[in-house]
Amino acid sequence: MAKQIVANIRKSSSLIVLARDKIKAEKQTDYKVLMFKRPPQATFMPNSAVFPGGVLETHADETPLWRKHFDNMGVSKLQLSLLTQGTGKKSDIFTKENPESLERELSLRIATVREAFEELGVIFCRDRKSLTDGSDDGYGKFKEDFDRQHWQKLVHDDATQFLKLCETLEIVPDLWSLYEWSNWVTPATFKKRFNAAFFVIVLKTIPDLIKEKHEVSEFAWKTPAEYLQQHFKKEIWLPPPQFYELSRLLNYSELEQFKKFAQKRSAEGLEAILPIERKCNDSRVNLLPGDDLYDNPNSSTDLVPTHKTAKEYRNGVKNVHRIEFYDSNDMVVQLNIKPPHGHLTPINTNPKKHE
């Protein structure tokens, strides 16, 4: 993707949090996913069910002062370099503009840990012991034994306080347990647009949460299938990236196996997913990279009509990768190609199928 396509879009990050469920019925998913509902007064996607996350605050998340803190905590250059390596090509969101700033692989992770703490009072972190004892098993770590409500308000009001919090508690954000997952960009038909890096973190236990009343109406821990069922029943509304990613998670019912996959896949790179929106006679279609009809994603800010039904628009296309929206809660991913970078294929659980 050309850099100019996303140059004027706000960079952000989201975190898909999976935690082991203590109660697992036979042959069912042994983990749950954290999501929360945006309040009705939210300026972007109000009332939607989303993963934790928010905008990259460069003055707070990319400041070179983080390097000094890492050094004071005994974090080696090798430990940090593990986050910037990989065999696959990375999307442009990881390209930093300021040579003095932190690498984007670091700052985007810091941003998503900070945002999760602002929104839900959970801080994913490591202390001196867990940084050096060699006991890293790939699962995320978090800390609860401090005045979280006090610090949550401070950080919510001033993002630079997050570094101060880490210095005070002698911790660093648990960047190593955040695995690169995907990169979604808001379509050109939207006035407010974001370029969001998605990470995943896997936890052994469900943490205690404290919701921030201005950003979170309610939160929940449910399986991917439960969220998708709620969506189809119109009990919640999932934005397209959340819908797509939850459909991917259906490939794994065991948390340990998912963790192993996420660790391995995170080194294989990412491709930015910038949907191209089209208006069909019976639906709205988001063309995604790899689809034969995917062209210039920023060619028009208008919703271009196809004068066809979604099925007619799909017929005869050899390589298909798109999301079809028949109404706000009736959507399906159409995909007949192998996802790039070793990724998972979304599973269709829409009761109407739309084949």
- Asked if residues 293 and 317 have their Cβ atoms less than 8 Å apart, the reply is yes
Using the predicted structure, report yes or no on whether residue 24 has a pLDDT greater than 70: no
Q: What is the pLDDT of residues 267-315, one digit of tens each?
A: 999 999 999 999 999 999 999 999 999 998 877 788 999 999 999 999 9
How large is the angle between the packed helices 161-169 and 148-157, nearest 10 degrees? Answer: 150
- Asked if residues 280 and 310 have their Cβ atoms less than 8 Å apart, the reply is yes
Q: What is the pLDDT of residues 220-266, one digit of tens each?
A: 999 999 999 999 999 999 999 999 999 999 999 999 999 999 999 99
Q: What is the pLDDT of residues 67-101, one digit of tens each?
A: 999 999 999 999 999 998 877 888 999 998 888 99
Report the pLDDT value the prediction gives residue 25, as an integer from 0 to 100. 54
Backbone angles phi, psi at 197, to 5 degrees: -85, 130
Percent of the chain with pLDDT over 90: 82
pTM attached to this predicted model:
0.95
Report the pLDDT value the prediction gives residue 92, as an integer from 0 to 100. 93
Residues of the chain with CATH 3.90.79.10: 9-266
On whether the 9-266 domain is CATH 3.30.2350.10, my answer is: no
Report the candidate in 253, 320, 334, 282 with the shortest Cα–Cα distance to residue 18.
253
